[in-house]
Amino acid sequence: MTENHKHTRILLVEDDVNLGFLLVDFLESNGFEVKLYRDGQSALQGFTRSGADFCLIDIMLPGMDGFTLTARIKELERKIPVIILSARSLKEDKINGFRLGVDDYITKPFDEEELLYRIRAVLGRTTRSETESPDEAEIINIGRFVFDPKNLSLIQGGNAQRMTIKETRILSKLASSVNNIVTREEIMIDVWGESDYYTGRSLDVFISKLRGYLKSDPSVRIVTIPTLGYKLEVDKF
């Protein structure tokens, strides 16, 4: 696994218990961090709560199907890489998946090594620009936190909070202008490359997550500036 991809967190949605566990073991042995869900609703809740860098989604799931789940996840984070895993090989299903913006469609049964190389290929296309930000090169002190953008970590008292790439980019943007306003549009263009309704919804979710990470230090807070954007406020001691 390449250095750039070693922190990738994969959300895997597969209702076949045996296949799910096999894929978790295989992917973790190749350096990925994997969270397994067996139905669409719990997967959506998990994504909303904890985020992910990459999604592997089966189509035929109990309750919410894989296409619906993909659409809901794309509403929250439009550019997240998604590979569909399915026993359904109909042309219509593949077209439906690509219309939703998935990056690849793999028909079961598949070879694990092929899946690995397809994941790496998608990551190579989608994360290169995200991981080359000059704002993410140095260690940054934020109140009692040590922010390590390069390793996607927020550290306090020896405890490290793992972050997604987009969480890291957003906090980097705010940290580069401590106690100054950063507009929503600036953040969206810098992180997503566009500014629209769906991107705005995604930004709201990520700001909420970052506030949760920072709440243990009362001297640090992300303040919403109505109609403008956000300000990372850090009290001086």
Give the CATH number, domain containing residue 45. Answer: 3.40.50.2300
For the chain, 237 residues long, the average pLDDT of each consecutive 10-residue run is 66 94 94 94 93 94 94 89 90 87 89 90 67 58 92 89 91 91 88 83 93 95 93 87
Enclosing domain of residue 182: 134-234
Task: Please tell me whether residues 174 and 213 are part of one structural domain.
Answer: yes
Task: Please tell me whether residues 120 and 142 are part of one structural domain.
Answer: no
pLDDT for 37 equals 96
Task: Please tell me whether residues 119 and 15 are part of one structural domain.
Answer: yes
Residue type, 84: I
Pick from 164, 165, 166, 144: nearest CA to 155 = 144
Task: Please tell me whether residues 109 and 221 are part of one structural domain.
Answer: no
Task: Please tell me whether residues 196 and 117 are part of one structural domain.
Answer: no
- Sequence-distant (≥ 6) Cβ neighbours of residue 30 within 8 angstroms: 1, 116
Predicted structure pTM score:
0.60
> Could you give the number of structural domains in the chain?
2
Task: Please tell me whether residues 73 and 104 are part of one structural domain.
Answer: yes
Strand residues in the chain grouped as ranges (E): 9-13, 33-37, 54-58, 82-86, 104-107, 140-142, 145-148, 153-156, 159-162, 181-183, 220-225, 229-234
Q: Collapsing DSSP states into helix, strand and coil, what is residue 103?
A: coil
pLDDT for 40 equals 94
d(CA 35, CA 124): 21
